[in-house]
Chains A and B, each alone.
Chain A
Amino acid sequence: MPNTKRKSSPRGGPAELERIAERVLKLGKERGSHETEVDVSSGVDALTRFANNTIHQNVAEQILSISVRAVVDGHTARATTNKTDDESLARTVAAAVSLARNQPENPDLLPMLRAQKYQKVSRFVAATAATTPEERARAVTRVCKMADKAKQTAAGIFVSGQTHSLLANSKGLAARYEQTRSEFSVTILEENSSGWAKSNSPDIRTIDPDALAESASRKATASRAPRELPPGHYTTILEPSAVLDLVGFLFYDFAGTAILDKRSCLTGRLGKKLFGENINLWDDVYHPFQTGAPFDGEGLPRQKVLLVDRGVPKNLVYSRATAKKMKAKPTGHGFSLPNDYGEAPMNLVFAGGDKSTDEMIRTTERGILVTRLWYIREVDPYEKILTGTTRDGTFLIENGKVAGGIRNFRFNQSVIETLSNVEMLGPAVRAAGEESFEMVVPAMKVRDFHFSEATKF
């Protein structure tokens, strides 16, 4: 078997990023950019995909991106390339300068930042970076054999990868970050039922494919021969992945720009009780379960921000430009410039509670247990009504016990109402779903969740 192990510093390693950044900043000065910013990032990603108890897709990619922002007389624009030769870099810088010159002045543009100090986060794990296709294939083979033995069908992915990035500018700022990532997701199917589990982490050693597959397998078995229930309002226990995918739709509402544009559901509601007393929410990139760089798109250090305090939306996040407009202090949540959206909290952390899912079930006379949600879309942006369906493990709870699988439901439910009706909270965990970026959320027991229609399976 050939050795396909990636070295820990592949093309696009820290030294190469520094060289490229230095070259671009020099070119910026030569080409007439009054201020220049360069974001150089590289990545190696590999993904093994399986279905019908066999690997059907196995891919790897190596990428490098050089994104240049030029400022000329208060105008700014961006050009991006993945070509690293001198001619391509010079052309990209020239394109950024030319685009910047040919647009109206941006009155909100602020001077680029000088050098900043960042709190250290450690999210690069050598074991993850060194993962081979054979290691992923062996884990997947074990899961497929497990499914075969149980007369079930497995489908899923096993991912490993790493990224390095450097954000630098002509004022002396240099923000460096590196991170590894790993993810295992599995769906176990039976004739008329299914179960699902997913986990991701910078450290592949914390991912247990066998345990995740066993959990999905148990759900598929327990939801066999699902019965159809009438639509209506039910007490509903949302497992963390289901909570994540619902509350993930709230994140942009906490952006200063969303308030300025009157597109936030918090317009006119800041400082007033909106959710239940037991809802507390922060944005906190430094939380041990969180991932991501400790700086924003302009290189400003990210701050921990209390967004909701005992049900009251208290604070917003701000980029530098939005903060100036709103007479607030920037919080380090701005996107790379230029952009239309300003900023957003990307590292949400909900406070958890101490109730286990078993206790939530035990205290429920009649209700629904939801594993995950699917295809969620916003129906009403101010009342925050979302629609979507349940998927891969939806159960009826009767008299404190799981009474069997049910056909999937469509819901039309306000997130604001959901967070006002939370009766119990589980411990907050790093959750992974498919509709939202990862965040730290608890399982929730919610009263009066509105399932509007039943599906046919």
Chain B
Amino acid sequence: MQDLANLALDTAKRRGASYADARVMDIRHRDIAVKNGEVGTLAESESLGIGIRVVAGGAWGFASTDRLTREGVQACAAEAVAIAKASALAKRENVALAPEATYVDTWQNPFLKDPFRIPVERQIEVLLAADEEMRRVKGVTVAEGSMSFRRIEQLFASSSGSSIHQIKMQSGAGIVATSFAGTEIQKRSYPNSFGGQHMLQGYELVESLDLPANAGRMAEECVALHSAAQCPEGQHTIILDSSQLGLQIHESIGHPIELDRVLGQEANFAGMSFLTTEKLRKLKYGSDIVNVVADARLEHGPGLGTFAYDDEGVPAQCTPIITNGLFTGYLSNRETAASVGEKRSGGTMRCESWNRLPMIRMTNISINPGTWKYDDLIADTDDAVLMETNRSWSIDDRRYHFQFSTEIGWEIKGGKKGRMIKNPSYSGITTEFWNSCDAICSRDYWTLWGTPNCGKGQPMQTMGTGHGASPARFRNVKVGVAFAK
């Protein structure tokens, strides 16, 4: 890997690049899915290549190839420089990067069991066992389960002298029961929707989830939803479970703090942000108990946003995003940090693969735990809707007006969890919503959720992000609008 990277950097410099970095990435996947007692997907894949990013003529260029011969890498580096010079035709100012030290390091996330060494038939057995449990429940029309594993080995090298070797092992698994009856399709997922839970861990994550033991409960809840009461409409108190709160953080905090979005670089596709730069350290984003960080360090947990160095060679950091309710930080890179008065990048540049340009991405964007015990929070709530497990999510292109719905809800009356509620939904304005938060559960109820499917950029890149959250309560929220006539 190092030889290929050096060749790329040497060629780029010879062709006139004032700065160059190269990422050699070797990525391996295993994907398994079962449906109604049969194996649906069973696939392994590997992909090896190099991406070369350069500054030449004061502008950016990037080229990538999987032709890893001497000629292939040299041609790719030359193309990156030529593209940068073409970019310079429309430049307004020269690219300037915030200073960063050089690093020579190697890092691998800790894990106990290599999922690629676990026999695939054992993994299929677990999924089929959960599938069978779900189909035991009358009314379940589709039972599904999936596992996915990813090993990413990468070398980052820069013309400044950095050489960073990292290996990341990711695992994920989940199950879902679907039921059609009358004119309704309902579903329940465990431990989360859209593929379950994903972390920077080995197969021990899958074992800890115990999919078969939770399958029956999911199936029963799924079928019971058909006869549950419809979610009420109006202004209500809501309590969100930690997985739904994780997605709420992702959409209404994680995306709007991306500085490339704020500065207009995503205007044509992903959109911009209501968090314009004059709001930094002035906007009351949430109530006083809301504290949010962007933390890529391992001590935050083995999240999908955990690493030792980002894809620009900047060490992992913890950036306070919301501090006692006050908006205090953005996600930045070496090019944008200066625009908000930072001397150094926040270390959030990430790329999906060797053939994609690194861009500002969420790391682990997490809300700090509060002080409440879960049972005390329920007991303290007179009238509310408890909402669990995301079903749909939508937010405008400034990340200001959102609408979410969850798979299941529960009525809270007089401090007690009551009847089941179907089709729960809520909507609101980002800052009004976070300012209405009046209770957050403690560390005992905090989970670092993985969102494996965050899309951004052109060409589109899918990235995994982490979101730590515990159940929380919000007052005076608009509920039920999704089904209002």
Contacts and interface: CB of A to CB of B under 8 A. Distances in A.
Nearest to A157: B458
Contacts of A144: 90
Contacts of B44: 78-80, 95, 99
A219 B385 CA distance: 42
Contacts of A376: 394
Interface string B21-51: 0000000000001011011111111111100
Contacts of A339: 40-41
Interface string B384-401: 000000001111111011
Contact of B83 (A59, A81, A95): A59
Contacts of A57: 60, 62, 265, 357
B184 interface: yes
A80 B45 contact: yes
Interface string A118-150: 000000000000001110111011001000000
B66 A82 contact: yes
Interface in A245-290: 261-263, 267
A351 interface: no
B84 interface: yes
B124 A103 contact: yes
Q: Report the contact-size class of chain A (Cβ under 8 Å from the partner).
A: 35 or more
B271 interface: yes
A399 B357 CA distance: 49
Instruction: Tell me the dominant secondary structure on chain B's binding face.
Output: mixed
Given A58-B61, A377-B392, A412-B483, A453 B427 contact: yes
A185 B268 contact: yes
A153 interface: yes
B425 A379 contact: yes
A58 B80 CA distance: 9
A58 B66 contact: no
Given A79-B45, A80-B46, A376-B394, A453 B401 contact: yes
A262 B40 contact: no
A103 B120 contact: yes
B63 A102 contact: no
Contacts of B268: 49, 51, 155-157, 185-187, 196
Interface residues of B, number: 88
A389 B481 contact: no
Contacts of A155: 264-265, 267-268
A200 interface: no
A99 B67 contact: no
B392 A408 contact: no
A99 B32 CA distance: 11
A261 B141 contact: yes
Interface stretch (A60-68, A164-172, A352-360, A418-426): A60-68
A106 B38 CA distance: 7
A130 to B, nearest CB: 15
A108 interface: yes
Contacts of B91: 54-55
B141 A55 contact: no
Nearest to B38: A106
A379 B44 CA distance: 33
B447 interface: no
A81 to B, nearest CB: 5
A385 interface: yes
A340 B90 contact: no
A79 B43 contact: yes
B283 interface: no
B345 interface: no
A457 to B, nearest CB: 6
A263 B181 CA distance: 11
A77 interface: yes
Contacts of B284: none
A58 B86 contact: yes
B183 A133 contact: no
A410 B328 CA distance: 29
A61 B66 CA distance: 9
A338 B398 contact: no
Interface in A161-208: 185-187, 189, 194, 196
Contacts of A61: 63-65, 355-356, 459
Nearest to B65: A62
A319 interface: no
Contacts of B269: 157, 185, 434
B294 to A, nearest CB: 22
A234 interface: no
Contacts, number: 276
Which of B43, B90, B184, B266 counts the most chain A CB atoms within 10 A?
B90
B193 interface: no
Given A58-B60, A380-B423, A4 B184 contact: no
B142 A59 contact: no
B134 interface: no
Contact of A385 (B46, B82, B267, B482): B482
B71 to A, nearest CB: 10
Nearest to B122: A102
B48 A340 contact: no
A337 to B, nearest CB: 10
Interface string A322-360: 000000000000000011100000000000000000000
B82 A456 contact: no
Contacts of B394: 375-377, 387-389, 410
A227 B313 CA distance: 46
B158 interface: no
B126 interface: no
Contact of A187 (B60, B267, B405): B267
A378 interface: yes
A59 B62 contact: yes
Contacts of B92: 52-54
A9 interface: no
A81 B44 CA distance: 9
A213 to B, nearest CB: 12
Contacts of B266: 51
Which of A107, A388, A453 counts the most chain B CB atoms within 10 A?
A453
Contacts of B65: 61-62
A8 interface: no
A381 interface: yes
A51 B42 contact: no
B445 interface: no
Given A51-B264, A134-B89, A382 B400 contact: no
B85 interface: yes
B99 interface: no
B186 to A, nearest CB: 9
A363 B217 CA distance: 55
A106 B36 CA distance: 12
Contact of B459 (A59, A138, A196): A59
Contact of B43 (A48, A80, A104, A107): A80
Nearest to B95: A56
Nearest to B178: A263
Nearest to A107: B38
B400 A455 contact: yes
A104 B39 contact: yes
Contact of B400 (A2, A51, A103, A456): A456
Contacts of B152: none
A338 B62 contact: no
B64 A60 contact: yes
B166 interface: no
Nearest to B78: A2
Contacts of B43: 77-80, 99, 338
A1 interface: yes
Given A57-B265, A61-B356, A144-B90, 6 more contacts: A55-B89, A137-B90, A140-B90, A379-B482, A387-B482, A410-B427
21 contacts: A2-B15, A2-B85, A57-B265, A58-B84, A59-B64, A62-B64, A62-B76, A67-B45, A78-B44, A79-B43, A99-B43, A108-B38, A140-B90, A186-B268, A262-B142, A374-B397, A375-B397, A382-B184, A385-B482, A412-B403, A434-B269
6 nearest CB pairs, A to B: A340-B40, A80-B45, A262-B180, A133-B86, A155-B267, A377-B392
